[in-house]
Chain A
Amino acid sequence: MSIPTTRSTSDFAGVIALAEQIRNGDRTAVDVVEEHLARIDAGNPELHAFNLVMADSAMAAAATIDGQIAAGNPVGVLAGVPVALKDNLCTHGVETTCSSKILQGWKPPYNATVVDRLAAAGAIGIGKTNLDEFAMGSSTENSAFGPTRNPHDPSRVPGGSSGGSAAAVAAGFAPFALGSDTGGSIRQPAALCGVVGVKPTYGTVSRYGLIAFASSLDQIGPFTHSVADAAVVLEAIGGHDPMDSTSLPRPFPSVSGVLDRGVEGLRVGRITDLPTGADDDVNGRLDAAFAALEAAGATIVDVQVPAFTFGLTAYYIVAPAEASSNLSRFDGVRYGLRVDAPSTGEMMAASRAAGFGDEVKRRIMLGTYALSAGYYDAYYGKAQRIRTLIAQDFAKAYAQVDVLMTPTAPTEAFHFGDKGDNPLSMYLCDLYTIASNLAGHPGISVPYGVGDEGLPIGVQVLAPALGEPVMFQVAAELERLASK
């Protein structure tokens, strides 16, 4: 069975290949960084994947790596490989904005743990990528600095909120990128841009230095061209971090070793009561993925996850509630924009009004309302109970299957402005990704052909908490089947 392909992104060398070439002396890190900077120079003005390109520091870091290799010193597993970092990850001394006017110009006094770990592995930060302001959105249209365009069709969105990271990888600006996923913000743009995107199990990757959106949901994860590349990146950034009190005290599950095992004997669940709303071509690709896995030896099992359908509502209560609390720190006192006013209270209200964009204000208002006196039990309390229901329903399903498979996003990449003025229509982009954030489970989006309009479609594999090994095993097989 052959799958039609869109403008391919597989022409670009991946993480493992580049690291090997650099380590073996086939290419220098300087050469690799120069190649990526040249593609950024040529393509980024149109696509706006980056808020900031770190050309000088990247070239300096590459020269250092080349010096270490020439001297015969040991180097890290990602030595010389460029990485694009979502602009809500703190980089010491390098502007970090969350694509918000309220943080424009702010230079963090420390690195996020993932940034330090990538540097320790030898990876080279090449730029900070655009996002929906404070990661609130599904298209990057909410960026205060203008939207990112989809490399497959610049008249369309790349998805979001990590749209800049997804576009950077798809366009060959960097062989991998990091993003954050609160309700689908890695997996949905990965699907829309035709790359692999992973949200790992809650607590497996440190969030220290990730500017918080909704703390009980946020996770950091990678965008790559291949499942194997994603495995290598997660193994480099994952594992316990004493700087993050929500970090699990254990190493990241080893996933690189399981990728060749195939799916013989594995049970893959199809959720029969999944909320409807996906386009026919998206469902068609999902059906094809089930058929291909079955032909490859997996057993397809119909299961029910009744609470899945309530995830959207629970999410749009929990996430804004936590955001309203987290974003109270942006008050014009310690960092970012200040609008002068006669009193501190007026200064804070004026600074926040001038610094936050429309969607961020809307979610702060919604969250503040949901947490306010008299409404807590009706909204936040109830949403927390729905999280329990979702976790219980997932547990019943995972008693019958090893993984679940769903669409990643309900549609192909859509045009700018398509979602109009109704915030709810944008929120539906997260219909299939949200439940795993609420449960704390991992999920991966794997490109699986294209839809009716010739744009990439992703299939999502879900697993129980710390189920990354079996999730990667199935994802790697899907990737092989997609290229057949």
Chain B
Amino acid sequence: MSEPGTARLAESDVVHVAKLARLAITADEVERYTTQLGGMLEHFADIDSLDLSSVEPMTHPLPLSNVMREDVVKPCLDRGEVLAASPASEDGRFRVPPMAGEA
């Protein structure tokens, strides 16, 4: 099968997107995703010719907005139980490796 869409997407795009998505990817994956995602974007071209300038976007199927609960104190999740399910915790908090010095 030909992959006409690859022209629209460069490997550098895939590397950039992986960084945005915080996904470490291999050289092999860069190559594969460039081909596969390019093919999908090509398929999406079926909507290119639609004139949608007068159509409002639908963000959500329901006309609900700003749903608030009553401002009363209610029980919440047990902190110890939540922390126990995490990879690492300390002193009632989630523990992560150093963050300073990152780009």
What residues make up the interface of A, taking CB atoms closer than 8 Å to B?
106-110, 202-203, 216, 242, 245-246, 248, 310, 313-314, 316-317, 324, 328, 331-338, 340-350, 352-353, 356, 361-362, 364-366, 368-369, 372, 379, 381-389, 391, 422-424, 439-440, 465
Contact = CB atoms under 8 A, between A and B. Distances in A.
A365 B29 CA distance: 11
The SS class assigned to the B binding surface is loop
Contact of B58 (A246, A316, A366, A388): A388
Contacts of B59: 216, 384
B64 interface: yes
A373 to B, nearest CB: 9
Contacts of B7: none
Question: In terms of DSSP, what is the predominant structure of the interface of chain A?
Answer: helix
A361 B17 CA distance: 11
Contacts of A382: 47, 50, 52
A366 B37 contact: yes
A180 to B, nearest CB: 16
B56 interface: yes
B22 A349 contact: yes
B23 A352 contact: yes
A369 B44 contact: no
Contacts of A336: 87
Contacts of B57: 381, 384-385, 387-388
A375 to B, nearest CB: 9
Contacts of B87: 332-333, 335-338
Contacts of B50: 310, 382, 386, 389
B55 interface: yes
Given A245-B64, A345-B22, A369-B37, 6 more contacts: A248-B64, A333-B94, A335-B87, A348-B22, A361-B25, A384-B58
Interface in B1-49: 1, 9, 13-14, 16-18, 20-25, 29, 33, 36-37, 39-40, 43-44, 46-47
Contact of A313 (B9, B17, B29, B46): B46
B21 A379 contact: no
Nearest to A245: B67
Interface in B63-101: 64, 67, 69, 77-78, 81-82, 85-88, 94, 96-99, 101
B62 A386 contact: no
Contacts of B20: 368, 372
A109 B58 contact: no
A388 B9 CA distance: 28
Contacts of A332: 87
28 contacts: A109-B81, A109-B85, A110-B77, A202-B62, A216-B60, A314-B47, A317-B44, A333-B87, A334-B82, A335-B87, A341-B97, A343-B97, A343-B98, A344-B97, A345-B99, A346-B24, A349-B24, A352-B21, A353-B23, A361-B25, A364-B21, A368-B20, A369-B13, A369-B37, A381-B57, A386-B47, A389-B55, A423-B36
